[in-house]
A and B are shown apart, each in its own frame.
Chain A
Amino acid sequence: MRKKFQNITSKLWAAAALGLILILWQAVSMAGLVPNYMLPSPVEVLQAFVSEFPLLMENSRVTLTEAALGLLCGVLVGFVMAVLMDRFDRLYKAFYPLIVVTQTVPTVAIAPLLVLWFGYEMLPKVILIVIVTFFPVTVGLLDGFKSADKDMLNLMRSMGASEFQIFRCIKLPGSMGQFFASLRISASYSVVGAVISEWLGGFNGLGVYMTRVKKAFAFDKMFAVIFLISVISLLLMKLVDLLQKKCMPWENKK
């Protein structure tokens, strides 16, 4: 009961800070300190959000589909890579440096190439998201697999367990914590990745919508879509948290 109360008060502080910033922002806009076309007031942003709601939702649907597909494939690719690299040390030595290199290439630089190769449809976007989301999963899982308790492995071997049994009973469940931490990062990357790839070529989606309103200098709509993207990322991360609670019931019982 007390904990719940503390939880609410801690959230109250964050809400108060946010409220304060919004009020300040509104005041600055109303006082005319910044030209209205450069920084619309929060109320205007809200109005834009309401009036553009159907369009925003339609575009969100496209972006979210890309993000979800990309994330799913990215997680799968990341998982398979981690398992293979954990099992075969030579694969690890051969490919780990390469994988790190893929992450040093800026997304904005490869997105146009992907568009050139795979067209303006869904495919290049999904590929881009896979490239940005698989990495945290691979690294997190590998770390988890490798940090399995040596004594636990010995115990399993003393019972005559096979490598697969050791993987299934020890390594995999033991790295769930790291997996979900990585998934949380990947989930937010997937939305950002989708938007960036839409910027650089596409017919619809929040990224396309964004370039369109930018060209029209409709900054109120711009802000509305920025907030929407943040909210979507937050919701996705929350979803990952819920999934984690569901998948790791032992964590809740400590």
Chain B
Amino acid sequence: MAELKVEQVSKSFDGVPVLENISLQLHEKELVALLGVSGGGKTTLFNVISGLLLPDEGKVFLDGEEITGKPGKVSYMLQKDLLLPYRTIEDNVALPLLIKGEKKKAAREKIQPFFQEFGLEGTQKQYPAQLSGGMRQRAALLRTYMFSQKIALLDEPFSALDTLTKSAMHKWYLKVMEQIHLSTIFITHDIDEAILLADRIYLLTGKPGKITEEILITEPKPRREDFNLTENFLEYKRQIMEKIGEVQETGR
């Protein structure tokens, strides 16, 4: 059964439709990519799912319970890492727990075991400005994970990193995902990234944004290191590029 379900969501701003009839679902422990061009309404969709924004039409369900317009149900990581510069990494990561009303000391203790798991050992007492971009992103992911161990929405989690760091982060991310039970939807405009990480890809194209295709990546996990150099990978890529091309040719 799907954990998270989005049913026929539409949204427009000032009469300009941004999302049209979007339906999607996320199963347990699944990693789903939402692939599309920038400005195609992906972030709007996330704002709807996270409850920050009310859709004009449609509903969002979590485990069968409607959560449309109710924030605080799923974790949401925005494009920037948004670590607070005046808090140590430890206190940044503990933030979601503090918001939920836990005591500072208890929250700090609770998060400690995860630092190792996320490869952040030793950064607890440091400030965000002292960390590299990759490490900051890890910390932001850990903070997201601390909010809900169930469902996470990641808005272009790796797009701000340089290519080399990005590829290292991909490997790290897949490894971490092996250990934790988290169902994730992530936004990306990078086809390679989507194929590399996702179990399933939704293609969001056009204006207003519509889901035009759903692609299953059947490559088993853990995936081999050089998956992105295999014929299989290229086949997926070719397929996706064709779909995007079709949409653009038919003029939306």
Contact = CB atoms under 8 A, between A and B. Distances in A.
Question: Is chain B found bound to chain A in the same assembly?
Answer: yes
Interface of A: 149, 151-152, 154-161, 165, 169-170, 173-174, 176, 248, 250, 253-254
A82 to B, nearest CB: 18
Contacts of B78: 151, 154-155
Interface of B: 47, 50-52, 71-72, 75-76, 78-80, 82, 84-87, 95-96, 98-100, 126-127, 129-130, 147
A161 B50 CA distance: 13
A241 to B, nearest CB: 18
Contacts of B129: 250, 253-254
Nearest to A253: B127
Contacts of A250: 85-87, 127, 129
B86 A173 contact: yes
Nearest to B47: A154
Contact of A159 (B84, B85, B86, B147): B147
Given A174-B86, A176-B86, A250-B127, A151 B99 contact: no
Contact of B80 (A151, A160, A174): A151
A175 to B, nearest CB: 11
Contacts of B79: 151
Given A250-B127, A254-B129, A160 B82 contact: no
A253 B96 CA distance: 25
Which applies to chain B's interface (DSSP): helix, strand, loop or mixed? loop
Contacts of A253: 126-127, 129-130
Contacts of A157: 52, 71
B71 to A, nearest CB: 5
A176 B86 CA distance: 10
B46 to A, nearest CB: 9
Contact of B99 (A149, A161, A173): A161
17 contacts: A154-B47, A154-B52, A156-B99, A157-B71, A158-B71, A158-B72, A159-B75, A159-B76, A159-B99, A160-B71, A161-B99, A165-B98, A169-B98, A169-B99, A253-B127, A253-B129, A253-B130
B82 A158 contact: no
B179 to A, nearest CB: 23
Contacts, number: 60
A149 B85 CA distance: 12
Ranked 9 nearest A-B pairs via Cβ: A160-B72, A158-B76, A250-B127, A158-B50, A173-B86, A161-B99, A254-B129, A250-B86, A151-B78
Nearest to A254: B129
A168 to B, nearest CB: 10
Main secondary structure of the interface of A (DSSP, over half): helix
Contacts of A152: 82, 84
B156 to A, nearest CB: 12
Contacts of B47: 154
Given A151-B78, A154-B78, 20 more contacts: A152-B84, A155-B76, A155-B78, A156-B99, A157-B52, A158-B52, A158-B72, A158-B76, A159-B76, A160-B72, A165-B98, A169-B84, A169-B95, A173-B84, A174-B84, A248-B86, A250-B86, A253-B126, A253-B130, A254-B130
A165 B99 contact: yes
B107 to A, nearest CB: 13
A152 B147 CA distance: 15
A169 B98 CA distance: 10
A158 to B, nearest CB: 4
Contacts of B84: 152, 169-170, 173-174
Nearest to A173: B86
Contacts of B130: 253-254
A246 B130 CA distance: 18
Nearest to B130: A253
Contacts of A158: 50-52, 71-72, 76
A85 B232 CA distance: 60
A109 B85 CA distance: 44
B237 to A, nearest CB: 31
Nearest to B97: A159
A26 B89 CA distance: 57
Contacts of B86: 173-174, 176, 248, 250
Contacts of B127: 250, 253
A156 B52 CA distance: 10
B121 to A, nearest CB: 19
A154 B155 CA distance: 13
Contacts of B85: 250
A160 B52 contact: no
Contacts of B82: 149, 151-152, 155
A155 B51 CA distance: 11
